[in-house]
Amino acid sequence: MKIGVVGNYGNNNQGDEAILEGVLIQLEKAYPVKRKDILVFTNSPEQTKEKFGVQVRKLYYKKSTAPTTLVATVLKHRPVIRELDLLIIGGGGILMDLYVHSLVLFGMYGKIAQYTKTPYVIYGAGAGPIQTLKGKIILRSLVNHAEMVTVRDEASKNVLQSIGVKREIIAIADPAFYLTPPLMEKKEEPRKTIHIGVTAVPYYHANYWPSEDRKKYNNYVTGMARNLERLLDKDPRIRVTFFSTKHPQDTAVSKDIVKQMQNKNRCMVYDERLDQQEILEKIGEQDLIIGTRLHSLILALVACKPIIAVAYHHKVEDFMKENHSQDCLLSIGSLHQKDSLFTKIYEQMAVDWEETLSRFEKITQNKTKSLPQGMDLLQEKVHLK
């Protein structure tokens, strides 16, 4: 059995790496296949091979122009994909047209699979935004020709239906929910120190965002700093640790936030690249996660930690609403307008901390037990030898 997996892998984004780990865990449980026999298309082949123990191929073969890059990649990958029994495209937020390069790239994988008569599926992916005619045409074709389509939330299903996809689309849990949670010691009662982990995204910063807007970035950094400062002032037991799911970009933002804070001695920026399991372990040391990155929130739930979400992208808002957690959701654009936003939510959580813990633990249980299981669906719809 030969299975290939393609997604936004090998870019040092540990959210995407957590997705890949979740897909691999599920594949090994569902099929008589070992990691060493699974082929992953990745931006960093050697790194992915060493980290996950899989076979690897370059995601694409860069040439002097976009068209020649596309042609070279098709020629290299066509014979490889022809030999696969199944190609899995996903997960992560890959069904969008914000980045034209990615749009064409994943559309290309679908076309190669069609021409080589290799069955392919869309697995646990996020959709949107899809705003251009080109994006609608490519993604509609990619989705409509798949053997099976699963997405990570109902909002993604609605986006795909809005561009004219008529086929069945099923919402499943994000693959990252299937990672192994860290072993944690029970906290002492009463809590002498309260550890809050924070992830910060480079919102409208030139080193990450498609277009820079310094005013929006500065408002965001100021808002994060003031809200965290107010939280620290409210409870002297609190300590704040910044960690990154995409280092060093997120780390640089974290340092900018701390520069604006008075209680620097109660803040720490973890200035090191962590893999997805190390991030889970770091989260396991915290009592609460305030996250911008979607997968910092998902991994927090894997580790059974309460979360406060700062929505920098619709996917974060969609995730919190789908899990009935709007009361723990903040808009990134509102942070600079009021400095008590984190404190208000934290105080509501602290009224009954045991109930708060139970509430967020149930979200993970519901995701992995109540939703349709992606691999069960795959086994039903795609019959592999």
pLDDT at 353: 94
Mean per-residue pLDDT, 318-330: 95
Q: What phi and psi values does residue 271 have, to the nearest 5 degrees?
A: -95, 70
Q: Which residue has the higher pLDDT, 41 or 372?
A: 41
Span of 51-55, 88-92, 117-121, 240-244 with lowest mean pLDDT:
88-92
CATH class (in words) of the domain with range 194-351: alpha beta
**Sheet of strand 288-291: strand arrangement:** 267-269, 238-242, 194-198, 288-291, 307-311, 329-331
Question: Same topology for domains 3-178+371-381 and 194-351, yes or no?
Answer: yes
Q: At residue 26, does pLDDT exceed 60?
A: yes
DSSP string, 181-196: PPP-PPPPSS-SSEEE
d(CA 299, CA 201): 16
For residue 340, give the nearest of 219, 199, 226, 196 by alpha carbon.
Answer: 226
Q: At residue 191, does pLDDT exceed 80?
A: no
Give the tokens for residue 315.
Answer: 């996917």
How many CA atoms does the CB half-sphere of 325 hold within 13 Å? 28
The answer to whether the pTM exceeds 0.95 is no
pLDDT at 211: 87
Give the domain 3-178+371-381 fold.
Rossmann fold (3.40.50)
pLDDT at 210: 82
Give the tokens for residue 3.
Answer: 């299975």
pLDDT at 181: 86
Span of 56-60, 115-119, 352-356, 371-375 with lowest mean pLDDT:
371-375
pLDDT at 1: 85
Q: At residue 385, does pLDDT exceed 80?
A: no
pLDDT at 187: 56
pLDDT at 40: 98
Mean per-residue pLDDT, 269-273: 93
d(CA 160, CA 126): 10
Residue ranges per structural domain of the chain: 3-178+371-381, 194-351
pLDDT digits (tens, 9 = 90+) for 334-354: 999 999 999 999 999 999 999
d(CA 61, CA 68): 9
Mean per-residue pLDDT, 23-49: 95
Q: What is the mean pLDDT of the chain?
A: 93
pLDDT at 70: 93
d(CA 307, CA 318): 15
Q: At residue 369, does pLDDT exceed 90?
A: no
Give the tokens for residue 57.
Answer: 């191929």
Q: Could you give the C-alpha distances from 157 to 15, 107, 124, in angstroms and in order? A: 21, 18, 11
pLDDT at 189: 58
pLDDT at 383: 78
